A = this chain, B = another copy of it.
Amino acid sequence: MAEICNVALLGQKFMGRPHSIAYLKAGRFFNLPLVPKMYTVAGRDLIALAPFADRWGWENYSTNWKDVVKDPEVHLVDIATAPYMHADQALAAIAAGKIVACEVPLAGTLKEARQMKNAAVRSRRAQTFVWFPYRRYPAVVLAYRMIQSGRLGRLYHFRANFLESWAGPQTPLTWRFQKKYAGMGAHGDLNTHIVDLVRFLAGQEVVEVTGSVAETFVPSRDVPAATAAKGRRPARKPSGKSDVDDAVVFLARLAGGAVGTFESSRLATGHNSTLSIEMNGEHGAFRLGLDDLNTLWYFDNREDPQIAGWRKINVTRPADHPYMGAWWPEGRGLGYEHAYVHAVADMMTVLGEEEPTVPIPDFAEAYETHRVLEAALIAAKNRAAVKLSEIK
């Protein structure tokens, strides 16, 4: 009989739903050594919180996350709030001896991320996880395993993009465009994921950011109607300053000598949300992307050149592909939410002292990703290369 892991979810907004469905599904589709129980959820908006808890089956709810974090019944604290709140919540949870799972980016600033990492390292008891769910699509795992087994060889090049387009000039000034709440723009939301994926897949650290551009294409945006002053119609629409990046593009070098680009944008017209990564190595090449997430493209460079070609692998065979034994007959693909289900399944597996499908980053590893983001911002500011060894 599997043991129970009582979960407390902090934050019921943006990531509340994917986390909730992940807890709901993980134990039904996977045979886990530890089964997550949706114990409680904390949020600030009581009006929204009660129906949320009811709908998703959270047994309790609270508007005070500090109480929740200290609740002796809680085993795992899942931080799904805005980045600027992560550090306080994670430090409190670690102090309370909880297992902590934190959303990305790890924190609003590098300093906070460092505090979180240090707290985790100092506390011998602390088990920390960082949600990097995109590691957990079957195509990504298959690529990882193929690369581990030598099918990439020496890596020469990579191209990593995460392109969205929802932030055109007409998009109003929400909290996402304000540094005090969001910390960063596309850089934190999007580059975080692809930096983690490249580090993960290549099995190498970024050692230098060689050049970088951080751009706010639309520095002034209309204040949303609801937020604008009530009672009288303004002569013209009030506007405010957007002080986060709309896009960050940077050149980087990995420890093994590979050179590549990271690009994230909220104004890449034509892309709803296109994460794509390509890697070219001595023995092979790989390409994968979120908009066709059940597919892995692979080029075998040791194949007879007459019949070599990019191979479109449909990663949906229960008997052959990572995680797919838990799902459907071959050919039936997964969607966005499944990465979250896999993340929960792997966390429970780790907590049950078994091997996860692929490693889950802890705070220390997520901090490495955060250092790369920081280096890119400094390089953009300095208009010059920055070595990672310069970033503490």
A-side residues, CB < 8 A to B, are: 18, 20-21, 24-25, 27-28, 55-56, 142, 146, 156-157, 159, 161, 163-166, 168-169, 210-213, 215, 217, 247, 249-251, 253, 257, 259-261, 263, 265, 267-274, 280-285, 287, 290-294, 296, 298-299, 301, 305-314, 316-317, 319-321, 327-338, 379, 383-385
On chain B, the residues within 8 Å of A332 by CB distance are 273, 290, 335-337
A307 adjacent to B272 (CB under 8 Å): no
Q: How far is the CA of A340 from the CA of B291 in the complex (A)?
A: 21
Query: Assuming A168-B282, A213-B251, is B310 touching A270 (CB within 8 A)?
Result: yes
Report, nearest first, the 9 A-B pairs whose CB atoms are least far apart: A211-B211, A273-B331, A272-B331, A335-B335, A332-B336, A270-B285, A270-B299, A309-B313, A383-B385
Cβ–Cβ < 8 Å partners of A385 in chain B: 211, 383-384
Q: Which residues on the B side are within 8 Å of A267 (C-beta)?
A: 156-157, 280
Task: Judge whether A156 and B249 touch: CB under 8 Å.
Answer: no
6 contacts between A and B (CB under 8 A): A157-B249, A168-B301, A273-B329, A296-B309, A298-B307, A311-B312
State the oligomeric state as a number of copies. 4
A217 touches B320 (CB 8 A): no
A214 to chain B, nearest CB (A): 9
- Interchain CA distance A213-B211 in the complex, whole Å: 9
Contacts of A271 in B (CB 8 A): 280, 331
Chain B residue at minimal CB-CB distance from A283: B269
- A165 contacts which chain B residues (CB < 8 A)? 280, 301
Q: Are A331 and B291 in contact (CB under 8 A)?
A: yes
Check A314–B319 contact: CB distance below 8 A. no
- Which residues of chain B come closer than 8 Å to A331, judged between CB atoms? 164, 271-274, 290-291
Closest chain B CB from A299 CB (angstroms) = 4
Q: Which residues does chain B contribute within 8 Å of A311, judged by CB atoms?
A: 307-312
Name which residue of chain B comes closest to A24, CB basis: B24
Shortest A194–chain B CB gap in Å is: 14
Tell me, rounded to whole Å, the shortest Cβ–Cβ distance linking A204 to chain B: 15
